[in-house]
């Protein structure tokens, strides 16, 4: 907490809010300037959100729109399904298409 300058109260607030949304883990790194919030495992797969510090580039937007592993939520938030060793490796194509009809990410 001291490395990033959080007080115990701020840390507890963040932890409480993450638990409230069902978060089971968090990862950060400088490689892609993003944080990952892990939400739920289903079998070997994992649902998570990638939250970027900066808006996505046009190239990134194009890649996320055409890969069924990702459902763009905004220009900084991507919903991700990572498959495991067996079973589905991505969202069903129809589920992604249906969401994107109702919600335009950019």
Classified as helix, coil or strand, 74 is coil
State pTM to two decimals.
0.81
Measured CA to CA, the distance from residue 6 to residue 13 in angstroms comes to 10
Question: Residues 42, 47, 48, CA angle at the centre, nearest 5°?
Answer: 155
Measured CA to CA, the distance from residue 16 to residue 48 in angstroms comes to 18
Q: What are the tens digits of pLDDT across the range 48-86?
A: 999 999 999 999 999 999 999 999 999 999 999 998 888
Q: Do the beta carbons of residue 46 and residue 81 sit within 8 Å? A: yes
């Amino acid at each position: 907490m001291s490395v990033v300058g959080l007080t115990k109260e701020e840390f507890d607030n963040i932890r409480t809010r993450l638990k409230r949304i069902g978060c089971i883990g968090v990862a950060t790194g400088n490689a892609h300037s993003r944080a990952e919030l892990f939400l739920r495992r289903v079998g070997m797969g994992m649902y998570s959100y990638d939250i970027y510090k900066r808006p996505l580039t046009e190239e990134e937007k194009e890649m996320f729109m055409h890969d069924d592993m990702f459902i763009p939520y905004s220009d900084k938030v991507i919903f991700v399904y990572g498959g495991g060793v067996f079973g589905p490796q991505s969202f069903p194509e129809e589920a992604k298409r249906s969401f994107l009809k109702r919600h335009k990410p950019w």
